[in-house]
Structure 1
Amino acid sequence: MTPELVGLIGIIALLAMLTLGVPIGISLALAGIGGLAVMLSPEAAVAKAGVVIFEVATKYELGVLPLFLLMAHLCFAAGASRDFFDVAARFVGHRRGGLGLASIAGCAGFGSISGSSLATVATVGSAALPEMRRAGYQPGFAAGALAAGGTLGALIPPSGALIVFGIIAEQSIGKLFIAAVIPGLSQALFYMVAIAIMCWFKPELGPPSERVPWRERMRALLGVIDVLLLVVFVIGGLMIGWFTPTEAASVGVICSFLLCAFRGAFNRAAIGDAFAKTLSTTGMIYLIIFGAILFATFVSVTGLADLMSQTVRDLHASPVVAIIAMALILLLLGSFLDGLALMLLTTPIFLPIAVELGYSPIWFGIFLVRTMEIGFVHPPLGLNVYVIQSIGKDIPLGAIFRGIVPFLVADFFHLAMLIAFPIVTLWLPKVLA
């Protein structure tokens, strides 16, 4: 049995375990250790697993993840969950489709402290969906806008997905965060344009709300200024070189404690809950990372990635065609794998091919997360759709998926822009390097 065939069997075994409901971290670890046992020996596989896990666990960069998670949970404890939507709704809610625009702005703002797509859609959706329905918005359109807007949480810094990618791909998390700024903001802009176009042709989708006086708008803006200053200070300081990613996360945690105290939320129950949720989420993600590194080690030993790279070269396909083929495979796999599973399965295989084709690993990280985001909203999995449906239980899933369609079109245009013009992703890191 050739090493490449062993690698292919390992991938099939991993997919089978995921299909049977085995947790992703355990599936990756079992496939990785089992494959190494076949390629080397059981003793060598166990020894290699111990060395790999120790090397990963002692990485200084790994501290970024729990620190940014703690920062997010402390901001939640301080009551910063629905503030961004409230501010945007007061400023643009009186326009046609204004609450839809506000929901996208709210998701972008909340994504800058949460780093999670599911957390973003759940939190902003719980505040925005009832408001949009009271204003007479078509339910499927409202739910679709929120489900799509929630994906911004996976890309806008500090993105948990980019942190995980940076760790497993051994890339600078700071550069990934900087590279994600323009794609994240342009993604929000594409969604807003989609809402404006739809409401222009079908005003009944998003009727305007009552105009709010400027005094109330400014009062709402002042209510969120402390969180905005926190985000600008932490992420801005990282971008201009004041902090390393780990230092930025540490500063963010200290500032979040001060934010809790300023907002009167500094108490044992709130802080204890923030720590408990951070530890729970961190443990789960660490297990997944360990499994992903083991699986990547196995794929590297089999030479499967090298074989696929050589196959791409032999086809003499242009780099753009090869990347489009990767995007199609990612979208297909995204139909039944969640985003993190998709990233961890494909990074060891596709990243070497992308680098061989001349693409920057930083660009590939943004491309991968952006493609992964689409899986959060397209059927049949569409985790964001199920989250938003749990908030609006009377809205049929079919109506939400129909409401998603215009935003999927915007997603495909945006992804095409990132593929055709890599400079959109790479310009800001070059300027701030």
Structure 2
Amino acid sequence: MTPELVGVAGIVVLLALLTLGVPIGISLAFTGAAGLTILISGEAALIKLGVISFDIISKYELGVLPLFLLMAHFCFAAGASRDFFEVAAKFVGHRRGGLALASIGGCAGFGAISGSSLATVATVSSVALPEMRKAGYHPGFASGALAAGGTLGSLVPPSGALIVYGIIAEQSIGKLFAASIIPGATQALFYLVTIAVLCAFRPDLGPPTARVSWRERLVSLRKVADIALLILFVIGGLMIGWFTPTEAASVGVVCSLLLWTVRGGVNRPAFAQALRKTLQTTGMIYIVIIGAILFATFISVTGITDHLSRLVTDLHASPTLAIVVMALVLLLLGSFLDGLGLMLLTTPIFLPIAVSLGFSPIWFGIYLVRTMEIGFVHPPLGLNVYVIHAMAKDIPLGTMFRGIIPFLIADFLHLAMLIAIPALSLWLPSVMK
């Protein structure tokens, strides 16, 4: 059996394991180790597993991940989730669809703390969904806006997905964060426009709420001023060169703990819970990364990526067409794979092809995460939708998925714009010091 056939068989086995419900990290590691055993030897595969595991655990740059997670949990405990939505609601709640607009703003603000789509949608929905239902919002429209807004957590810095991609692809995390700012802002803008257009044609979807005075609005800004300054200091300092990514995350942890102390509520059980959740998530991600790098090593040995690159070149297909085909494959795989698993499975295969076609690895990271985000909301998996459904079981899943359709259209248009205009992702990194 040729190495290429072994590689194809390995991908099929991996997909079968994932379909059977085997955890993504275990599936990747098993497939990679088994493939290397066939291609080289069992001893070499075992040695490679040990070397990769040691390198990952001792990698200084990877310390940024648990530190940003811990910063997020300290901000959770300080009550940041409710504050972002409430402030946005005071400013735009009196407009048609105002609470939906506020939920997008809340998701963007909270995503800049959490770095996770699922954490963002779960936290903001717990606050925003009851308020929207109380105001008479259509259940599908409300859940669709929240599910879509939650995906912002995967793109806006400090994005956990971009950190993992940066480690696997050996790219600057600071540049990836800078590259995500304009796409994240335009993504939020697309959602805001979608809400405004829907409510202009169907005002019953999102009735306006009572207007509050400008004095109340300005006073409410105090609730988020400290956390906004924290985000600006940490992410801004990283991008202009004050800190390395790990230093920025360390500063963020210390400042968020101080912020939590000033706001009140610090106690031993809450502190222990923040540490425990951080360690649990970090351990899971470490296992996934080890498995992904072992699988990537296996794929590189098979020569599949070189073969695919030559195939694309021989077909004389335009680079844009190749990227569009990749997007279709990613969306198809996103029907049954979670976002992190999708990224770790496809990066070793697609990244070398994209680079050979002349695309920047930084741009490809933004493109990959943006495509991955769509998988969080499109059926049948749509994890963000299921998170909301767990909070509001009386809203049928069919109603929620119908409510997400206008936002999916906005997602596809935004993805097309990122493909057509790479400068949206590459301009800020190019001006970084």
TM-score by length of 2: 0.99
- Which 10-residue stretch deviates more, 179-188 or 206-215? 206-215
Q: Distance in 2 between matches of 1:417 and 1:361?
A: 18
Q: Indicate the residue corresponding to 2:7 in structure 1.
A: 7
Q: Distance in 1 between matches of 2:121 and 2:208?
A: 22
Q: Distance in 2 between matches of 1:40 and 1:21?
A: 28
- Which 10-residue stretch deviates more, 88-97 or 386-395? 386-395
1:113-128 to 2 correspondence within 5 Å? 113-128=113-128
Secondary structure of the corresponding residue to residue 94 of structure 1: coil
The AA in structure 2 aligned to 1:335 is: S
Q: Distance in 2 between matches of 1:93 and 1:393?
A: 25
Q: Distance in 2 between matches of 1:376 and 1:74?
A: 25
CA contact (8 A) 2:305 2:352 kept: yes
Q: Distance in 2 between matches of 1:323 and 1:55?
A: 32
1:361-372 to 2 correspondence within 5 Å? 361-372=361-372
Q: Indicate the residue corresponding to 1:182 in structure 2.
A: 182
Q: Distance in 1 between matches of 2:340 and 2:248?
A: 24
Secondary structure of the corresponding residue to residue 381 of structure 1: coil
Q: Deviations 1:239-278 (Å, cap 9, x if unpaired)?
A: 1111111000000000011011101122211111110100
Shift of the alpha carbon at 1:392?
Answer: 1.5
Q: Distance in 2 between matches of 1:151 and 1:93?
A: 22
Q: Deviations 1:101-150 (Å, cap 9, x if unpaired)?
A: 00000000000000000000000001000101111111100000000000
1:186-335 to 2 correspondence within 5 Å? 186-335=186-335
The AA in structure 2 aligned to 1:272 is: A
Q: Indicate the residue corresponding to 1:135 in structure 2.
A: 135
Q: Distance in 2 between matches of 1:212 and 1:252?
A: 33
The AA in structure 2 aligned to 1:404 is: I
Q: Indicate the residue corresponding to 1:26 in structure 2.
A: 26
Secondary structure of the corresponding residue to residue 140 of structure 1: helix
Q: Distance in 2 between matches of 1:218 and 1:130?
A: 24
Q: Indicate the residue corresponding to 2:382 in structure 1.
A: 382
- 2:148 counterpart of 1:151: no
Unmatched segments (≥5 aa) in structure 1 = none
Shift of the alpha carbon at 1:57?
Answer: 2.1
- Which 10-residue stretch deviates more, 284-293 or 213-222? 213-222
CA contact (8 A) 2:56 2:286 kept: no
Secondary structure of the corresponding residue to residue 81 of structure 2: coil
Q: Distance in 1 between matches of 2:281 and 2:51?
A: 24
Q: Distance in 2 between matches of 1:375 and 1:71?
A: 27
Q: Indicate the residue corresponding to 1:60 in structure 2.
A: 60
Q: Distance in 1 between matches of 2:69 and 2:278?
A: 6
Q: Distance in 2 between matches of 1:370 and 1:179?
A: 12
Q: Distance in 1 between matches of 2:200 and 2:392?
A: 25
Q: Indicate the residue corresponding to 2:337 in structure 1.
A: 337
Q: Distance in 2 between matches of 1:283 and 1:49?
A: 17
Q: Distance in 2 between matches of 1:210 and 1:112?
A: 28
Q: Deviations 1:66-90 (Å, cap 9, x if unpaired)?
A: 0000000000111112110000000
Unmatched segments (≥5 aa) in structure 2 = none
Shift of the alpha carbon at 1:223?
Answer: 1.1
The AA in structure 1 aligned to 2:232 is: V
Q: Indicate the residue corresponding to 1:432 in structure 2.
A: 432
- Which 10-residue stretch deviates more, 251-260 or 261-270? 261-270
Secondary structure of the corresponding residue to residue 212 of structure 2: coil
Q: Distance in 2 between matches of 1:8 and 1:56?
A: 26
The AA in structure 2 aligned to 1:237 is: G
The AA in structure 2 aligned to 1:82 is: R
Secondary structure of the corresponding residue to residue 156 of structure 2: coil
The AA in structure 2 aligned to 1:275 is: L
Q: Distance in 1 between matches of 2:270 and 2:78?
A: 8
The AA in structure 2 aligned to 1:273 is: Q
Shift of the alpha carbon at 1:216?
Answer: 1.9
Q: Deviations 1:25-62 (Å, cap 9, x if unpaired)?
A: 00000000000000001111101111122222222111
Aligned length: 433
Secondary structure of the corresponding residue to residue 81 of structure 1: helix
The AA in structure 2 aligned to 1:55 is: D
CA contact (8 A) 2:333 2:342 kept: yes
Q: Distance in 2 between matches of 1:59 and 1:85?
A: 37
Q: Distance in 2 between matches of 1:265 and 1:231?
A: 21
Q: Deviations 1:385-426 (Å, cap 9, x if unpaired)?
A: 000111121111001101000000000000000000000100
Identity of aligned residues (%): 74
The AA in structure 2 aligned to 1:360 is: S
Secondary structure of the corresponding residue to residue 256 of structure 1: helix
Shift of the alpha carbon at 1:215?
Answer: 2.3
After TM superposition, what 4+ stretches of structure 1 lie above 2 angstroms from structure 2? none
Q: Indicate the residue corresponding to 1:409 in structure 2.
A: 409
The AA in structure 2 aligned to 1:287 is: I
Q: Indicate the residue corresponding to 1:79 in structure 2.
A: 79
- 2:86 counterpart of 1:100: no
Q: Deviations 1:357-407 (Å, cap 9, x if unpaired)?
A: 000000000000000000000000000000011112111100110100000
Q: Distance in 2 between matches of 1:373 and 1:323?
A: 16
CA contact (8 A) 2:230 2:252 kept: yes
